[in-house]
Amino acid sequence: MKRKKVLRPLRIEKYVKRFEKNQKARDLIEKLDRQIKTVFGVDVEIQSLRRTLFGFALQDVYDFISIVFTFFLISCLLFVLYARISILFGLILLPSVTTMPIAVLSIRTRKFKKQFKQDLLDTIETMIQGFKCGLVVEQVLEYIAESQENLVTPFIKEINLRLLAGQSLKEASLQVSSKTLSSEFERMCRIFNLRSVTISHIAETLSVLAENIYEEEKTEIETLADKLNVRFTLIMLAGYVIPFLILVTYPLVMMFSKYNFFGG
């Protein structure tokens, strides 16, 4: 099988590690590293995710920072070339090219979280149905891992593998939940780790969680609709209303100015 060729970014890991002496910088780097590994499917088997960024292999935060640095060097080269034509264009090009990897990561993260939340709703509904049929947590997780195919499934499969390896349900679910970038998944794990309550109580609590997720999505859609309405209004003002007012008032202004000019 022919392997797909990928580019390797310049490694500047040793320079980045100097900043890890600061606790805030270390926390930021660790958070970004977790985000990259999840969104690009580095340590989670998600077939639908691409593992490259602009053709560069991406495995961790150091690769990402190296890619950003590479794009910075490219933007500097373009700035030198285009500055001869227009310094302003060069100044615009410099930050635009440099921030392209950051923008792509942000877009892919937002897309991942949105899709994950939608798939999580389906997963929770399946869990609730399983609990109503009398299955225990481990059986429900196994059923989902075998029968469901969405963005949540690989994480459920990993929980199952950890259970088979001898980890407790609590330990396995909490370790996997940190990979999902989803607070809702973490809450779900805490719910089915409640061993002091009955299965029916777990199902009821999951129903409340599903309802909360649904309400959050509904609120997000309404907020987006409001923003679109504002943007549409601005577009109408800029594209139609203001030109129309100019078209109507311009002849009047010219007429009055001409009248005053001749002293009428």
List per-residue pLDDT tens for the chain, 264 residues long: 445 555 666 666 666 666 667 778 788 888 999 999 999 888 887 776 777 888 888 888 888 988 998 898 888 888 888 777 777 776 777 788 888 999 999 999 999 999 999 999 999 999 999 988 888 888 999 999 998 888 999 999 999 999 999 999 889 998 999 899 999 999 998 888 877 778 888 888 899 998 888 888 777 776 766 565 656 566 655 556 566 666 667 666 666 666 554 454
User: Which residues does 17 contact at the CB level (< 8 Å), separation at least 6?
Assistant: none
DSSP label at 238?
Answer: I
Residues 165 and 79 reside in one and the same domain: no
Residues 94 and 182 reside in one and the same domain: no
pLDDT at 8 (0 to 100): 61
Residue where a domain stops, chosen among 90, 113, 136: 113
Residues 213 and 120 reside in one and the same domain: yes
Q: 188 lies in which domain range?
A: 114-218
Q: For residue 55, is it within any domain?
A: yes
User: Which residues does 58 contact at the CB level (< 8 Å), separation at least 6?
Assistant: 36, 40, 42, 51, 52, 64, 67
pTM over 0.95: no
Q: For residue 240, is it within any domain?
A: no
Residues 119 and 100 reside in one and the same domain: no
Residue 198 — φ and ψ, nearest 5°? -80, 165
pLDDT at 13 (0 to 100): 63
Residue 53 — φ and ψ, nearest 5°? -130, 110
Residues 186 and 174 reside in one and the same domain: yes
Q: For residue 27, is it within any domain?
A: yes
CA 258: distance to chain centroid? 59
pLDDT at 141 (0 to 100): 92
pLDDT at 59 (0 to 100): 87
pLDDT at 1 (0 to 100): 45
DSSP label at 20?
Answer: G
pLDDT at 57 (0 to 100): 82
Q: Give residue 105's identity as a one-letter amino acid code.
A: L
Q: Give residue 3's identity as a one-letter amino acid code.
A: R
State the total domains in the chain: 2
